[in-house]
A and B are shown apart, each in its own frame.
Chain A
Amino acid sequence: MCLQMLEPRVTPTLPRAVARGRARDRKEALRALTLGAARRRGSAGKSEPTVPRRPGLSAVMEEVEAEEPQEFSHRQPLRTLVSPQRLKAAVHYTVGCLCQEVTLDKQVNFSKQTIAAISEVTFRQCENFAKDLEMFARHAKRSTVTTEDVKLLARRNNSLLKYITEKNEEIAQLNLKRKAKKKRKPEDESRSSRESMAEELDGAEELQSES
């Protein structure tokens, strides 16, 4: 089986950033996704160059300075389209960061072709995952993909399924805590003290019901 090597369209600056692991560069690289799309929307007449001369971080930083960052909400349908090449580059960067962590943990290096191959495989598998998720949601007569669909996607390996269900519970609990925090913040202190008293009462009631 021979993998088609996709030569990553990233300049040497990206691997250096991977080695240094600067979060700032990652943020800029990903922000470029939204900004590049916004810029393209603004200048619809111009054609995008197929191969930019230096698609490195300097180009990304120019875009960052030129425009303001967009608000991102994952609940709304995305109206801006981003080219697959930019997404592949972003995936490649993220895969590089993850492989860097593995290298630090196991003291085994990854060749550049391996990282490119993993990111290519991830990108292609993403297509299958997305189509499956959409089909699962449509089968359940929904238009929103939920965690049940993701759990169904993870059914092939038992330990994977177990891990994903555990993660799901963790995420649900985290979100509940966050919601509880948000509700408490704007309220008065007296209200929050009343709530804590109510919780104590509930706790007392539970103890009474148990005994």
Chain B
Amino acid sequence: MAHLWCSHGIPRPLDSPSHLHLTNYHQPFSSQAIPDAPICRHHLELVSRLLHLHFRDCKTKVSGDALQLMAEFLRIFVLEAAVRGVWQAQAEDLDVVEVDQLEKVLPQLLLDF
């Protein structure tokens, strides 16, 4: 039923119950359409610092492969948040993604990650 809603161009009332638009279930990960950027050395450093900031034990290390994979993971996280926000804005016939659209996609995003 959610698919039918999405295929209509009819804008939904903004105070509808907080169902999320299930546009994502029938599609594989949306951000795969964005071309792959080569993993930058500075991004790796940023990710490493972000992880080490929250490690409880100072002795915990991150292997190089895991760091690259985490960089990719976080990149996908940001891209998913952005692209789902775009989908929500397009579903509501807007051309700017505001915080309201992001709020609607955020719960499903956090459940998926």
Contacts and interface: CB of A to CB of B under 8 A. Distances in A.
B4 interface: no
A126 B54 contact: yes
Contacts of A153: 73
Nearest to A5: B99
Contacts, number: 200
Interface string B63-107: 111111110111111110111011001100001111101110011
Interface string A151-174: 101101101100110011001100
Contacts of B29: 157, 159-160, 163
A175 interface: yes
A166 B95 CA distance: 34
| Interface bracket on B | 35 or more
B2 interface: no
A164 B55 contact: no
A114 interface: yes
B53 interface: yes
Contacts of A167: 69, 72
Interface residues of A, number: 71
B45 A160 contact: no
A118 B46 contact: no
B48 A102 contact: no
B112 A98 contact: no
Nearest to B110: A125
- Give the interface centre of A77, A84, A156, A172 by most chain B CB atoms within 10 Å: A77
Contacts of B28: 159
B19 interface: no
Given A108-B89, A144-B62, A74 B54 contact: no
Contacts of A98: 75, 78-79, 82
Given A3-B102, A110-B97, 12 more contacts: A30-B45, A75-B61, A98-B82, A108-B90, A121-B81, A147-B66, A149-B66, A150-B73, A159-B29, A163-B76, A168-B69, A171-B68
Interface of B: 28-29, 32-34, 41-46, 48-70, 72-79, 81-83, 85-86, 89-90, 95-99, 101-103, 106-107, 110-113
14 contacts: A33-B46, A33-B49, A77-B58, A87-B53, A94-B43, A105-B33, A108-B97, A110-B97, A118-B78, A118-B82, A118-B102, A121-B106, A130-B54, A143-B59
